[in-house]
Amino acid sequence: MLLTNTNVLQKEMTANQLKYIAIILMFFDHLFAIFLDQSSLEGALSRIPGRIVAPIMCYLIAEGYFYTSNVNKYIKRLLIFSAISHFPYVIYFGIPWWKGTSVFWSLALGLIALAVAKNNKYPLYVKVLAVIACCILAVPADWYYIGVLWILFFGLFRGDIRKQLISFAIIGIFLHVIHSIYDYGWLWVNQLGMFLAVPLLLMYKGKQGRKSKILKWGFYIFYPLHLLILYYIYIIITG
């Protein structure tokens, strides 16, 4: 007997549920990043589930552009938390403060790029230059210009999941995975774990879920907070 409908196909995920998944996996991904040897097979395998976090975050930022009532406030919020998260990020990952910054910076720049690209007041050359500028400025950030481009194309192709996922794959493979393997070795093939996000994005049908200020602000607050908690735990363990 052929089944025309399955539970998998019928299952839908809200934006809130995607956020919960991203938060949980992000916590463990950052835990494994420092507490396990990343040059080992064990360390590389531990990071695979966390590869879905950035695609989900970028997708939800692009969605947020269409749902927000004030995109400028949205951008300012991301920039503010980029500043708040900067030192927790560089301290936890042992990066000189001037050499890197958190994913909030690339998310903010991605939203700026999308906002400019969708604004009909600007000519094409201004839009192209703005996107290039955002990509360059995002280089020091976690997920660098990849996050900017994912947000941009998720937004430009909104409503066409096929084009969204094709652009996601092209950007991810050619600008991130291949580059990472070439620079850091074959263990970085674990970056292909980003494709684990695809089934989750396919289950998202545009529903936001229950409105909650706690959830709205919780993700922003959780990011710098969990880095400080993990750093404190690391200091206790290592003495």
pLDDT score of 156 more than 50: yes
Q: For the segment 16-51, what is each residue's pLDDT rounded down to a tens digit?
A: 999 999 999 999 999 999 999 999 999 999 999 999
Domain boundaries, the chain: 52-160+210-229
pLDDT score of 187 more than 70: yes
Nearest to 174 by CA among 191, 197, 198: 191
Q: Which amino acid is at 209?
A: G
Q: For the segment 99-129, what is each residue's pLDDT rounded down to a tens digit?
A: 999 999 999 999 999 999 999 999 999 999 9
pLDDT score at 216: 78
Judge contact between 167 and 189, C-beta under 8 A: no
pLDDT score at 10: 55
Judge contact between 39 and 187, C-beta under 8 A: yes
Per-residue pLDDT averaged across 6-14, rounded?
67
pTM to 2 decimal places:
0.94
Q: For the segment 49-69, what is each residue's pLDDT rounded down to a tens digit?
A: 999 999 999 999 999 999 999
